[in-house]
A and B are shown apart, each in its own frame.
Chain A
């Protein structure tokens, strides 16, 4: 079987759309609320989860035939925790700024349901390469939703994109205009509503499937 066969392409592509971990399986919602009030932490979080899901998937897939069935969840947890600790150490040593910005969220990747879900559902049954593709696909599918939600929350809540002002200053109430930032958007609850809107849009587009 070639590395880029049709099946493998499907493994990679399906979590991006039809089997999106957030929009379809509704996993990883907690972190989607926490880090999406602005775009930048959402992007960094999405990438970190992608990297860690991919490597944890590969490691578990390599070990899958040796793992004792009764402690498999513990083994998965140890692998994820070790990876997250190593990644967080490396970030601290070489890109200190980024690690400060992510603060506790790097540690919280351990608790992301998508990770454990992919390890248990996919990596335990499939080879390392397929698992790697599956990890990257799921990570990116998760990142995509985070970025969409983060984009709208930052735009409507702060009038900025990645920290750059996009709503002209003169439009604001305090400068005589008619526009006011929507403070609700900065609250975690609005992330839920936006995720729900995203799922709604996603389902109506893919109705026939």
Chain B
């Protein structure tokens, strides 16, 4: 058998074509045979991330816990039921230093206080920006306030660099050495929460907060007008919403007036 001339053009072209075809089939085979497992992993990972945002980290059976706790809403948010209390989970998407970052943040029924937060990233610097996935950073959001007026004031700042009008309730410590990723987290929070501000307001169940501020007629009741008392603050707010006429004539009580001024 004559020795093959491995330097001839024909041999080179045939060799390259055969190699490429073999590798293409091999990769296609590997990718398609593993796809189902990978997709299941990705879906489970997303569920785990959503659970992390309501401080349920490291659940052993993510699927079961997710089915038990989380309800998906039509507008892209999620409602979580934690020990009988409802939390609204808002998805976040933004840009870090090297690539996309994303997360979920859960809000208490008061539409104001953060219950928990979760962040993740695609390719932030290991040990610097990548630390936004770590628990100590995320739990730093627990109990912080989101809105100052109608603006999203919650943000991530380097110690001492926060705007002076922000109280500590709105400020989360940035990650050391990861200024750009931290800025990305702040921009993402402010942009995405603002987009869902209406959903958060609706979740709040009307203006129960301004009701709380007013003296109630009786225990658990709310002043609506001189002669009317609603059974609960939630009732008061929803009935205010329903009676557009009385709003216009300012017949409703103090709580509805403040509802009007808010709008």
B residues less than 8 Å from A153 (CB atoms):
127
CB <8 Å contact, A93 and B37: yes
Interface size class for chain A? Answer: 35 or more
Given known contacts A37-B128, A38-B127, A96-B41, is B27 in contact with A71 (CB within 8 Å)? no
A75 contacts B by Cβ under 8 Å? yes
| Known pairs A38-B127, A96-B42 / 10 extra A-B pairs, C-beta < 8 Å | A37-B125, A37-B128, A41-B126, A66-B6, A66-B15, A86-B27, A89-B30, A89-B31, A92-B38, A92-B41
Complex CA gap A94/B30 in Å reads: 13
Other-chain contact of A186, B4, B42, B128 (Cβ < 8 Å): B128
CB <8 Å contact, A89 and B19: no
**Which residues of B in the span 79-101 have a Cβ within 8 Å of any Cβ on A?**
99
Complex CA gap A66/B5 in Å reads: 9
Interface size class for chain B? Answer: 20 to 34
Other-chain contact of A68, B7, B34, B45 (Cβ < 8 Å): B7
B residues less than 8 Å from A104 (CB atoms):
99, 122-123
For A41, A65, A93, the residue with the greatest tally of chain B CB atoms inside 10 Å of its CB is: A93
For A37, A68, A188, the residue with the greatest tally of chain B CB atoms inside 10 Å of its CB is: A68
CB-nearest residue of chain A to B37: A93
In the assembled complex, the CB of B52 is this many whole angstroms from the nearest CB of chain A, namely 13
Which B positions have Cβ atoms within 8 angstroms of A? 4, 6-7, 11-12, 15-16, 19-20, 23, 26-27, 30-31, 34, 37-38, 41-42, 45, 99, 122-123, 125-128, 176-177
CB <8 Å contact, A70 and B12: yes
Q: Is the interface of B mostly helix, strand, loop or mixed?
A: helix
In the assembled complex, the CB of A190 is this many whole angstroms from the nearest CB of chain B, namely 11
Complex CA gap A1/B143 in Å reads: 70
CB <8 Å contact, A154 and B27: no
CB-nearest residue of chain B to A37: B127
In the assembled complex, the CB of A89 is this many whole angstroms from the nearest CB of chain B, namely 5
CB <8 Å contact, B27 and A103: no
Complex CA gap A67/B257 in Å reads: 83
CB <8 Å contact, A186 and B177: yes
Other-chain contact of A69, B4, B6, B19, B122 (Cβ < 8 Å): B6
Complex CA gap A187/B128 in Å reads: 8
The contact sample of 26 A-B pairs, CB cut-off 8 A, is: A34-B126, A37-B125, A41-B127, A65-B6, A66-B6, A67-B15, A68-B15, A70-B12, A71-B12, A78-B19, A78-B23, A85-B27, A85-B30, A90-B30, A93-B37, A96-B42, A100-B45, A104-B122, A104-B123, A157-B127, A158-B127, A181-B176, A183-B176, A186-B128, A187-B177, A188-B125
Complex CA gap A86/B27 in Å reads: 7
In the assembled complex, the CB of A85 is this many whole angstroms from the nearest CB of chain B, namely 6
A residues less than 8 Å from B15 (CB atoms):
66-68, 71, 75
CB-nearest residue of chain A to B123: A104
A residues less than 8 Å from B11 (CB atoms):
68
A residues less than 8 Å from B126 (CB atoms):
34-35, 37-38, 41, 105
CB <8 Å contact, A89 and B6: no
Binary interface profile of A, 73-98, with partner B (CB < 8 Å = 1, else 0)?
01100100010011001101110100
B residues less than 8 Å from A85 (CB atoms):
27, 30
CB <8 Å contact, B12 and A68: yes
CB <8 Å contact, B37 and A94: yes
**Nearest 5 CB-CB pairings of A with B:** A37-B127, A96-B41, A93-B34, A68-B12, A93-B37
For B20, B125, B126, B176, the residue with the greatest tally of chain A CB atoms inside 10 Å of its CB is: B126
